[in-house]
Structure formats: C-alpha cells, structure tokens
Structure 1
Amino acid sequence: MVGEARRILVTGATGGIGTAICRQLAGSGYSLVLAARDEAKLKALSDDVTGNGHMWLRLDMTSDQSIRQFAEELAAKHIALDGAVLMPPQAHSTNDPMPSSEAWRALFQNCFIGPLEVLKVAIDRMSSDPINGRRAKIVIISGISSAQVLGHYATSNVLRCAWIGEAKTLAFALGARGIHVNTLSLGGTLSPWYREGIEKRAEAAGITFEERLAEETSNIPLGKYGEPAEVAVAVEGLLSPFSDHMTGLNIMHDGGFTRSY
C-alpha cells in the first residue's frame, strides 16, 4: 500500500488492459481519474474500484473538442495529478508500407497528436517537488514494434517509434521538474479483443484455442503471452519509488520476444 493517496490519470480505463491497471492501482491505494469514451462503462468501473476518491471523466483522444472539454473539467475541479498512464489508440495491423497521405494524417491525429495533447493537459496538472522527494510519473503504453520492426505492423512501426522519441524528449525536458517519462512496450497480451483474435484464427485453422495459442507463443522464450494483470503490476512499478532514478526508458513486456539489445 502507498502511504498517501497519489492521484493518477488512466486513459483507456475501460479497456481490458486499462481495467486491470485501474484495479491494481486502486487496490494499492492510489486515487484514480478514469478516462475513456463510454460513460456507462466508466460509471461501472468507478463503482467497481471504490475508495480513495476516484472520479471519471469522458475523453475521446481522437476528438479535439473532447480533449478541450476534458482539460476544462480537470481545471474546474482543481485536479492535481501525481502521474498518468497514457494508452494511445492503436493502429490496426497492415502490410502496406506506404499508406496514402490521408491515411497517415488520420493515424497521426488519432494515435499520436490527440493523445499527446491529452498528455500535455495531464502534465499541466502535475504537482511535483523533487527537492522534497515528491515525483510525478508518466507511463506510456506502447508495443514491441517500438524496438523491432514487424512486417504486418507497417504503420505501427512508425507510430511506436514516434512515441519512443517523444518520451525520450520529454524525459530530458521534464526531469528537472521531477517528472519521469517511461514507456512500457507490450508484446502479445491476452486482453479480451486479443483472445477473440486467437479464437478466430483457431477456428479458421480447425484447431483448438489452446493449440493455436501454443503455436503462436512457440517463438517466445517464456512460452506465453502476457496477461493484463501482469501489465498492471509492471505499470504500478513504474509509478512507484522503484523508478525514482529511471526516466526515458523503453521497457519491453513481451516474454523475451524482442531480439534486439
């Protein structure tokens, strides 16, 4: 348990990984600002993770108007943040290395520019005092294509690297203020939508879910995909004193799949 209720913004809070993160942090005594697009799911999640003054705010990171409203609500409620977990929308897998200009504009707006505006809003609300040991922590959820090119994630290869570059830049810019910025790059993680994809591939191949899962994880040293709960524990570590001398890092959470040093 943390001694003082530190307030953390979690975007994408109602997704499979986001929900696991919220439950983990709430259970450890953090106060949460839950942000996502679906108000009904936000209300249900807020009821599920009771304690320490949690609150929820609707946020669509692909909408400039929604981001502005989100910023105004944080300011109106005088919300001070001790950290943020940013989960930018993911680009769909594609083998096309040269999408149209229109496709690139939409991808960068939805997966980078909009989420970066949300991060700016969060940073403006962060209270840190490194001289007195009070630090703010930012964790950006990324993917393994940030470190290793994957042919079927052509656009993701570019977008993930953009986030790694931005995180490193922010680590330099914000370090003196006691604001840490690290990225957690996920490999295959058994969120509900990822499980559904495996089930479909298994059905198409005429094999069981377990057989398909074994095939897909045969090239992973740990022999498995990650679980949302495991991601949540890693996120909590990066928000905790564990990372007090860590910033600008891209940490792989992929069972050892990434081959690069």
Structure 2
Amino acid sequence: MSTFLITGASGGIGSAVSQRLAKSGHQLVLAARDVDRLTTLQKSLPGDGHRVIAVDMASDQSVAKFSERLESLDLELDGAVLMPPQPHAANDPLPDPEVWRTLFQSSFIGPLATLKAAVSRMRPDVTRGQRAKIVIISGISSAQVLGHYATSNVIRTAWLGEAKTLAFALGDRNIHINTLSLGGTLTPVYRDSIARRAAAAGQSFDDRLEAETDNVPLRKYGEPSEVAVAVEGLLSSFSDHMTGLNILHDGGFTRAY
C-alpha cells in the first residue's frame, strides 16, 4: 500500500482520482479548501486511514498551516497529485499587474509551496523498490497557445518549466515528476458550461458537444475516470524511467511534434 497526497481532491477530477486510488488499496491524504466536501469524499472512499487536511493555495497562511498539519501526521508520502487552481478563460494579454500577482499566488506560488511540503515527506529507497512519484495536472494551453486563455498560457507553461527543473533537482533522490496536460474533460463544472453554451445557441447538449469536439481526432472530450487511469499509471512502476515529461491527455487535439 502506498500513501499519496491529492490536492483539489473534492473537485470532479480530484474525486475520480481519489476513488480510483483508494479502490486500488492506497491510503490518501485529501486536501482542498472545503473541509465538509473533503469529509464527504473521505467517507465515500473504500479502505481506511484516509486523512483530510484543509488548504487554500491562494493563501500563504493556509499553506503554512497545511504544512504543519502534514508534518504532524508523521506520514511518509509515496507521491502526490497536484492540481493547481487553473485561471479562467481571459482574452486580455496585458492585464494589470495586480491580476498577475493574484493569479501567480493562487495558481503557482501557493501550489508550489504546497508541493514543497509534500516533497519533505517523501523518502524513497530504491534498494527497497521504492520511488516517489509526483503528477501535476494542468491543461493543454501548457502545450500550445490558446487565443482565449491569455493568462493561462503563461501560468500553465510555468509549470512545465518547474517540472523540468524539479526533475533534475529531485532525480537523485528517486523522486519523479511529470505533468499531465488535459484537453476538454467532462467534469460537472465543464458539463454545466457546455449546457450554457448549448442553451445560448439553441442547441441540445449532445449537438453542442458534437460540434465542440469536431476538431478532436477522437471526437470526444475526456472523462474524469479516464484522467484517473492516466494518473494511476504515472504513479505506478510504469513511470520508473520517466521524469520531466509532459503527457497530453486531449484526444489528439494538440497537433505538434
């Protein structure tokens, strides 16, 4: 049995990842802002020993309290799934400095401090067959520029650079770090946004979904359960000779070598 930290655990993707890992027999440390939702998730998971820690990655004080709480649990982590809060769609390529400060705090600085706390609890020993695995979940604007995601294009690519840097810094400690860049994924929140666009266009949900996925080779968006399968693979021995990589999970939408 391995022990993994899951941030954003109460969200659509986080819940799917948590359910799959718990079903596979792993022990989880569930982290997110809403303790009530985390507790509900904890009770729904198979297995015992799952822990809950509140953290708001937009707040330095909250991250500091999270770090103290994680330390007090005295657990050795075998890995972590980090889901930094993602900037919403925005067309302005030159927003005010305060916009950048707020976005970098919530989507990069706070999450990186959270990851630092998790790394401090990782002590893999290859002689005993142990490696630690980190998966950072981002979006496809980390792989190619999207015109209506101006700020996201910057912040998500920052995570690719950080993952490459950490791959070198942590490799000799047998800690692997890879990123997973998602295309459209049918979380409850994304389903709602499709439904709103469908209503505005006078379409059914299915017709709108078919139109939106016309430029995706697989002609579909991903499901949270499919993301969970990919995450589990990257946390497993599958990635024993992989680090610093960005894996695209977008149905073939990104067309680049």
Map of 2:237 onto structure 1: 241
Map of 2:202 onto structure 1: 206
Structure 1 stretches lacking a partner, 5+ long: none
Contact 1:29–1:52, Cα closer than 8 Å, also in 2: no
Q: 2:223 aligns with which of 210, 224, 227?
A: 227
Distance 2:227 2:112 in 1: 22
Map of 1:146 onto structure 2: 142
Matched, 1:7 2:17: no
Q: What are the within-5 Å matches in structure 2 for residues 89-238 of structure 1?
A: 89-238=85-234
SS in structure 2 opposite 1:177?
A: coil
Distance 1:161 1:74 in 2: 28
Give TM-score, length-normalised by structure 2. 0.99
Distance 2:38 2:203 in 1: 36
Q: 2:246 aligns with which of 243, 250, 258?
A: 250
Q: CA deviation at 1:77?
A: 1.6
Spell out, residue by residue over 1:7-48, the C-alpha distance to the aligned partner (whole angstroms, 9 max, x if none). Answer: 000000000000000000001111000001111111100000
Structure 2 stretches lacking a partner, 5+ long: none
What letter is aligned with 2:79?
G
Q: CA deviation at 1:131?
A: 3.2
Q: CA deviation at 1:57?
A: 0.8
Runs in 1 of length 4+ with deviation above 6 angstroms?
A: none
Percent identity, aligned pairs only, is 65
Map of 1:82 onto structure 2: 78
Contact 2:23–2:46, Cα closer than 8 Å, also in 1: no
Q: Which moved more, 1:126-135 or 1:192-201?
A: 126-135
Distance 1:43 1:242 in 2: 31
Spell out, residue by residue over 1:137-177, the C-alpha distance to the aligned partner (whole angstroms, 9 max, x if none). Answer: 00000110111100000000000110000001000110111
Distance 1:116 1:190 in 2: 26
Spell out, residue by residue over 1:51-93, the C-alpha distance to the aligned partner (whole angstroms, 9 max, x if none). Answer: 1411111111111111111111111121210000000001010
Contact 1:130–1:177, Cα closer than 8 Å, also in 2: no
Give TM-score, length-normalised by structure 1. 0.97
SS in structure 2 opposite 1:157?
A: helix
SS in structure 1 opposite 2:177?
A: strand
SS in structure 1 opposite 2:158?
A: helix
Distance 1:32 1:132 in 2: 21
Counting matched residue pairs gives 257
SS in structure 2 opposite 1:207?
A: coil
Map of 1:55 onto structure 2: 51
